[in-house]
Amino acid sequence: MNRLLRSNEALVALTIVGLCLVIGLNNPVFFSVGNLFDLLRSSIVMGIFAMGVLIVIVSGGIDVSFTAIGVFALYSTVRILKEFMPDAPIWMAFLIASLIGLGLGMINAFFIARFKLPTLIVTLGTLSMFHGFLLFAIGNQIIRDVPPAMDAFARSALLRIPLERGTANLHPAILITIAVILVVWLLLTFTMLGRGIYALGGARDAAERAGFNVARIQYFIYGFVGLLSGVAGMTFGSLARQANPQDIVGLELNVIAAVVLGGAQLTGGRGTVIGTILGVMLVVIANNSLILIGVPSVWQRVVIGLIILIGTGLPAIQARRAGKRSYSLAEA
């Protein structure tokens, strides 16, 4: 029990509870059904992105290009649908976006696996390359007259609850996030590929000696992250009912922060789906609800930064103390 309370997931959960109590006691609107549904809606896209980033960080890499892949897939898909398939169903839009994302992710994988280049350098380069190509070759105008299927999907609701003023709607896109979470959890927990991802993050040389094909694992990781980015981009565009080439890009730091807050180590080899979900919840609550207690938007980034420093600093201090304690016992 004591060990559980000292775990990173428990610390993040306690932080979430404390933050919710502070906000809710100062403004009861926070505990309303409408606000809960708004928070869930805000976590949909970030949750999808975070699952992909979790896999990358667990493998010992860093990917900052996923937002550019997402907006590239969104904008390209909308252009394709409007030009060739204006009446295509929404599943076709998601299929096209995911395939575009997969293709872009494989570009990252090629440079990382084939040439063994640093993941941060590669994805910084492709972030600029993908976004720049989108703006100057495909289009840089906001598309607001999206295909009917996207508009209908944006207006749909999984659950509608009447309120005194209006209706609280739970969007069915939350099911996409849940499905992605389940897939990633099953992958990391029960498959040999998942073990290979953890082994790669722990020590690449040891993973190779254990018989894991590191190049194939990296191709899967970055291809899969690209696919998820395409899904996230299309989800974002469908919810917003527009395709803006400037959207999403810039969100990557919040997503990475959420994954690291959830306990994933930037050095690789460690990270859990549960921890990532908690990290996403914490960042979403801080981003969307601090205004309810009068925190100006310009100060919200400061508060989020403090949360990140505390949330990542405490586990690091605990790990250092545990290492010193083990060393002392070994000497004794």
| Widest pairwise Cα distance in the chain | 74
pLDDT band at 328 (very low <50, low <70, confident <90, very high): low
- Which two three-digit tokens encode residue 17? 């509870």
Question: Which secondary-structure segment (H or E) carries 326?
Answer: helix 297-331
- Cα atoms found within 13 Å of the Cα of residue 301, Cβ hemisphere only: 5
**Average pLDDT across the chain, whole number:** 89
Domains of the chain: 42-319 (1.10.3470)
Least confident of 124-128, 246-250, 327-331: 327-331
Compute the distance between CA of residue 45 and CA of residue 232 in angstroms, rounded to an integer: 5
Tens digits of per-residue pLDDT, 295-314?
Answer: 777 776 777 677 667 666 66
With a CB cutoff of 8 Å and minimum separation 6, the contacts of 272 are 9, 188, 262, 263, 264
pLDDT band at 122 (very low <50, low <70, confident <90, very high): very high
Give the model's pLDDT for residue 312.
63
Question: Which secondary-structure segment (H or E) carries 169?
Answer: strand 167-170
pTM value is 0.92
Look at residues 104, 109, 143 and name the one whose alpha carbon lies nearest to residue 230: 104
User: Is residue 146's pLDDT more than 60?
Assistant: yes
Give the model's pLDDT for residue 295.
72
